[in-house]
Amino acid sequence: MESQKSTDGLGLSRRSFLEGLGGFGGSSLLMAGMSALGFGIASAQAAPPTLTGGGGKKVVILGAGVAGMTSAYELSKAGYDVTILEARSFAGGRCQTARKGFTSTELGGETQVCDFDDGLYINHGPWRIPYHHHSTLHYTKEFNIPLEVFVNDNDASYVMFDKGKGPMAGKPVRKGEVAADIRGGAAEILAKSIKQGALDQQMTAADRDHLIAYLVKEGYLNNDLAYKGTDGRGFDIWPGAGVNPGPGVVKPPRPFVDVLNSDTWKTLGSVTNYEQQRTMFQPVGGMDRIAKGFEAQVGKYIRYSTQVKSFRQNDKGVEIAYVDGDGKSGTIKADYCICTIPLSVLRQMDIQVSPKFKAAIGEVSYALVGKIGLQMKRRFWEEDHSIYGGHVYFDDPEILTMSLPSTGWQSKKGVILGYYQFGSQAAKVSALSPGERQALAGRAGERVFPGYADSIEKSFSAAWHRIDHNLGGWAQWTDDGRANAYPTLCEPDGRLYLAGEHLSYITGWQAGGIESAWQQIGKLHARVHAA
C-alpha cells in the first residue's frame, strides 16, 4: 500500500493511519466502477437477453418455476417452440402462497389444507424482494404486478435473546433501544478514550476532533461526551397535550454492560448486508402473483401434473419420457432441453449425461427450511405493542424469526410468520405434526407477546426439505463445490442446459433463477445461431 512508505519511528504516520483505514474506501470505489461494467456484486443482469430468430426450434423445459417460465417466456417470444413439463398441478415452483384451499402433503407427513380466512395468506416460499434484484423487478413491472413495501426492519419490534448474560436475558427488548444503547455506549468509550489521548500518536488533532464530532452525533453524546439516552429509543410517558402528560418522560438507557452482555446487538447488522435491506418489496396479495404473472403468459405451454421419468439425448436431439396426470406414459422429443429441476431431485433421476456432469449434480447440499403461518384472532402486535411489520429476532434456533405482516395494517386479523428455522433445527421441527408445530410456535410466541398462543386460530406450515419436487429450500454450495462442480453444471451437457437459483450466486432468491435462465437461454440461442 502506497501510504505505508511514509512511516516514521512510531509505525504509520498520523496521516497514513487514516489513509490506511481508507484503503477500504478505495476498494469500494473500485467495486462501484466494476458494478457499472456489469461485474458488480449486485444482482447483475437487469434485463433479459434480446433474442430473435428462434426459427421454430423445439425446446422442452422441465419445471414451471420462475426459471422455467422465464425460459419459456423469452424463448417463445423469440420464435422457439417451447413445452414445459411441470410435475405439480400448478405453476410457480417454490414461488407459492398458502391461502384458503392451498393443499400440501409433505413426504411422510399428513395433508394440510390451508383454511385461513379470505384475504389472509402466508408466503411460505420466497417472501421479500431486494431493490437490487433488477431481474425480479423487471418481471413484476412487465406483468403489472403491484408491489407494496415489505418492512424488513422495525426499531419498535423486539429482540428476544435467552442465551446472553445479565438482566436482559430472556426478555423481549425493543430493537431501537438496543441500537441506541450500544451505539451510545460504544461511542462514549471511544470518544473519551480519544479525548484522553489514546490516538494522539496515530492521528492529527484536527482528525481527532472530527472523529469525536462524529461520535457525538453517532452516539447521542452530551457535552461531556457521555451517553444519557435519546428520545428516539422511546418514552416511559409519551409526550402529549397540556401539562399532563405534557413533555412526557424519556425512557432511561440501560447500563452499557447489560446491553453488551445480552448479545442482542448481534441482530443489528442483519438488515445492512447485501441481501437484506430495511425496506424491501412484496407483491400485493401474495408472492404467487409473480407465478401467476408468468403463467398468464406461458400457461398455454405448460403440461401440468406431468412427471419426468427419464432424459435421453444424442447429437440430434433430446427425448424425455414422462407420466401425465392420468397415469399415461409418453415421450416428447425436442432439439434442446432446459432443466430447472432442483439438483436435490435431479440427482435421483434417470438422466443421460456425462459421468462428470452426473457427479457434479451430487455435489451440492440443499437447505432444510421450515416456516409456519399463524392466523391470529386480532392484531395484538399493532394494537397492544405498536409494532407495524418487521421481525422479532429470537435466539431460540427453533424460532429465529417471527415476522409481523407488512400488509392489512389495522385490519381485524393477520397472519404472523411464527418461525423460520434452518438445518438440523428444521429437521427436528419438521418431524412434528402440523398441530405440534403450531403448539411449538405458540409456546415461543407467548414468551414475547402474552396471549399469543390463545390468539392462534389456524396455521399452515411448510418444511421444504420434505416437499416433493423440491427436497430443500435452496442450494448450499461449499467452496469446493463452487470451484469444481458448479462450473461444470453452468455449461450444457450435450443438449441439456440446467437453470435455476442453484446455478447462481444468488441462491435461494427468485432473481437467481431468473438470471440463470437468462444466461442459459442466451447460450442456447447463440449455439442455435452458430449452427
d(CA 523, CA 521): 5
Calpha distance 285→305 (Å, rounded): 25
Total chain residues near another protein (CB under 8 A) = 53
CA distances from 295 to 92, 283, 301 (A): 8, 15, 9
Q: Show the DSSP H helices in 37-133 as ranges.
A: 66-77
- Contact status: 396 vs another protein (CB under 8 A): no
Residues 114-153 touching another protein, rule: CB under 8 A, are: 126-128
DSSP letter at 493? B
Which of the ranges 11-19, 53-61, 164-172, 422-430 carries the binding residues for another protein, by CB under 8 A? 422-430
Closest CA to 399 of 365, 467, 364, 449: 449
Q: Write the DSSP symbol of residue 12.
A: S
3-state secondary structure of 369: strand
Minimal distance, residue 55 CB to another protein, in Å = 37
Q: How far is the CB of 509 from another protein (least distance, A)?
A: 6
CB of 233 or CB of 465, closer to another protein: 465
Q: Is 365 in the site for another protein (CB under 8 A)?
A: yes
Q: Of 479, 520, 485, which is closest to residue 499 (Cα–Cα)?
A: 520
- Shortest Cβ 273–another protein spacing (Å): 8
Please report whether residue 366 would count as binding another protein according to CB under 8 A: yes
381 grid coordinates: 402486535
425 lies in the site for another protein, by CB under 8 A: yes
Task: Work out how close the CB of 452 gets to another protein at its nearest, in angstroms, rounded to a whole number.
Answer: 20
Is there binding between residue 92 and another protein (CB under 8 A)? no
- 236 CB-contact burial (10 Å; exposed 0-12 / middle 13-18 / buried 19+): exposed
Residue 357 is a binding residue for another protein (CB under 8 A): no
Query: Does the footprint of another protein cover residue 424 (CB under 8 A)?
Result: yes
Looking at residue 528, its amino acid is V
- The reply to whether 108 sits near another protein by the rule CB under 8 A is yes
CB of 119 to another protein, least distance (A): 25
CA dist 462 and 429 (Å) reads: 10
Give me the least distance between CB of 395 and another protein, in Å please: 8
Binding to another protein by CB under 8 A, coded x per residue (else -) over 447-466, reads ----------------x-xx
Choose which of 347, 379, 385, 437 interacts with another protein (CB under 8 A). 347
Quote the cell numbers at residue 200.
494522539
Residue with cell 385461513: 116
Among 197, 410, 479, 530, binds another protein (CB under 8 A): 479
Question: Is-contact 77 65, C-beta < 8 A?
Answer: no
Piece in contact with another protein (CB under 8 A), picked from 170-178, 284-292, 293-301, 502-510: 502-510
Helix 134-142 and helix 510-530: axis angle, to 10°? 80
Q: Which residues bind another protein (CB under 8 A)?
A: 107-108, 126-128, 266-267, 270-271, 275-276, 343-345, 347-348, 362, 364-368, 391, 393, 395, 397, 400-401, 420, 422-425, 427-428, 430-431, 463, 465-466, 468, 471-474, 476-480, 507-509
